[in-house]
């Protein structure tokens, strides 16, 4: 479904600020796999997401989606296959447009946009059904401007917008990190539910180790631009936070250095 071959990215090459953000990354995701990604700040997690979505082009290496080389496809073309939710709850929706208009834009993600109405009667009904799965009452506020929603509501809407068209790949980059704990839990639950029900191939970055353990079928740990640990299946199920920290120390010979890592 998704395959990265020897991908490397260096920022500001040849300057004193040179930074190797990804170093020979090899990664392959099977269809329907749900992978959680952890790693300290600056490990290259967001860069990895940006390489897959086409925001960044790697210096070397290939990216395949459904067996097709996409490394030279611009971001907007790759978006046909990829659903994304960003960390910033404001980033995934258009604030001065209505809920139904936002959903209509997302509805067109994997189709060609045409000169016909984006919001139709039929689509409204469809949108209502989808919105009711969020249990936030948004199905009664189709014509409300999205800018009026709370951060949690907007992130739930973003999640819905990026998933209801069932993308080949779903990328979530710390999409609960900017929310308060109860909202974060709501979004986590919704994520778990939608990924399970639609069987989406998912890559989810989180700084919450417990979340990384609880969710998904596979876990990878990144550090200094490399994937240093990769477990799945039964082995992952048995894993505890303590194991993760020990594993990191064994591989790197140093403490897992991230104040933000939530150990609970």
Partner 1 sequence: MFISLFGAVESGIIYAIMALGVYLTFRVLDFPDLTVEGSFVTGAAVAAFSIINGIPPIIATLLAAVAGFIAGCITGVLHTKGKINSLLAGILMMTALYSINLRIMGQPTLSLLNETTLFGQLEEMWKSIGLDSMLNGILSALGLEQLPSTWAVLIIMVFITFAIKILTDYYLKTEVGLALRAIGDNKKMIRSLSANTDSLIIVGVGFSNALVALAGGLIAQLGGFSDVNMGLGLIVIGLASIIIGEALFGTKTVVRATLAVILGAVIYRIIVTLALRVDFLETGDMKLITAVIVVAALVTPKIIQSRREKRRRIWKRQQLRTGGDGHA
If contact means CB under 5 to 8 A according to the sort of partner, which of Mg ion, partner 1, ligand ADP, none does residue 39 touch? Answer: ligand ADP
Q: Is 181 exposed, middle or buried (0-12, 13-18, 19+ CB in 10 A)?
A: exposed
By CB under 6 A, is residue 12 in contact with ligand ADP? yes
Q: Which two tokens stand for residue 113?
A: 């946009």
If contact means CB under 5 to 8 A according to the sort of partner, which of partner 1, Mg ion, ligand ADP, none does residue 11 touch? Answer: ligand ADP
Identify which of residues 109 and 224 has a Cβ nearer to partner 1 in the complex.
109
Task: Give the β-pairing of 201-205 and 34-39.
Answer: parallel
Q: What are all long-range contacts of 130-137, with beta carbons under 8 Å and residues at least 24 apart?
A: 130/103, 130/160, 130/164, 131/99, 131/103, 131/160, 133/160, 134/160, 134/190
Identify which of residues 207 and 218 has a Cβ nearer to ligand ADP in the complex.
207
User: Least distance in Å: CB of 49 to ligand ADP?
Assistant: 8
By CB under 5 A, is residue 46 in contact with Mg ion? yes
User: Least distance in Å: CB of 77 to partner 1?
Assistant: 7
Identify which of residues 46 and 208 has a Cβ nearer to ligand ADP in the complex.
46
Task: Summarize as ranges the residues that interact with partner 1 (CB under 8 A).
Answer: 53, 75-77, 79-80, 82, 84, 86, 90-97, 101, 104-106, 108-110, 113-119, 161-162
29, 39, 107, 130: residue in contact with ligand ADP (rule CB under 6 A): 39
Tell me how far apart the alpha carbons of residues 139 and 115 are, in angstroms, rounded to a whole number: 26
Distance (Å) of CA 10 to CA 6, 45, 80: 13, 14, 27
Q: Which stretch binds ligand ADP (CB under 6 A): 39-47, 67-75, 95-103, 231-239?
A: 39-47
Selection from 197, 244, 235, 222 nearest residue 41 by Cα: 222
User: Least distance in Å: CB of 201 to partner 1?
Assistant: 17
**Cβ distance 9 to 56 under 8 Å?**
yes
**Cβ distance 30 to 236 under 8 Å?**
no
User: Least distance in Å: CB of 55 to ligand ADP?
Assistant: 10
Tell me how far apart the alpha carbons of residues 33 and 60 are, in angstroms, rounded to a whole number: 26
Q: Which residue do the tokens 């150990």 mark?
A: 263
Identify which of residues 43 and 103 has a Cβ nearer to partner 1 in the complex.
103
Residues 63-102 vs ligand ADP: string with x where CB under 6 A? ----------------------------------------
Binding interface with ligand ADP (CB under 6 A): 11-12, 19, 21, 39, 41-47
Binding interface with Mg ion (CB under 5 A): 46
């Amino acid at each position: 479904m998704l395959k990265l071959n020897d991908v490397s990215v260096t920022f500001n090459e040849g300057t004193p600020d040179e930074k190797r953000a990804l170093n020979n990354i090899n990664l392959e995701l099977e269809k329907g796999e749900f992978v959680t990604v952890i790693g300290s700040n600056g490990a290259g997690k967001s860069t990895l997401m940006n390489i897959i979505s086409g925001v960044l082009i790697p210096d070397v290496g290939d990216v395949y989606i459904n067996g097709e080389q996409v490394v030279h496809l611009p971001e907007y073309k790759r978006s046909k296959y990829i659903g994304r939710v960003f960390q910033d709850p404001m980033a995934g929706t258009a604030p001065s447009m209505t809920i139904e208009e936002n959903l209509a834009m997302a509805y067109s993600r994997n189709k060609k946009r045409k000169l016909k109405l984006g919001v139709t009667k039929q689509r409204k009904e469809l949108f209502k059904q989808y919105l009711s799965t969020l249990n936030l009452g948004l199905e009664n506020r189709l014509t409300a401007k999205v800018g009026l929603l709370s951060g949690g509501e907007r992130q739930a809407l973003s999640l819905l917008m990026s998933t209801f068209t069932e993308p080949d790949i779903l990328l979530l980059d710390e999409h609960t990190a900017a929310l308060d704990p109860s909202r974060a839990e709501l979004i986590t639950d919704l994520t778990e539910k939608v990924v399970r029900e639609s069987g989406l191939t998912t890559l989810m970055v989180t700084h919450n180790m417990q979340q990384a353990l609880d969710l998904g079928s596979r876990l990878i740990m990144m550090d200094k631009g490399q994937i240093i640990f990769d477990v799945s299946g039964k082995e992952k199920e048995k894993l505890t936070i303590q194991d993760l920290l020990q594993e990191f120390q064994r591989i790197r010979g140093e403490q897992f250095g991230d104040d933000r890592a939530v150990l609970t």
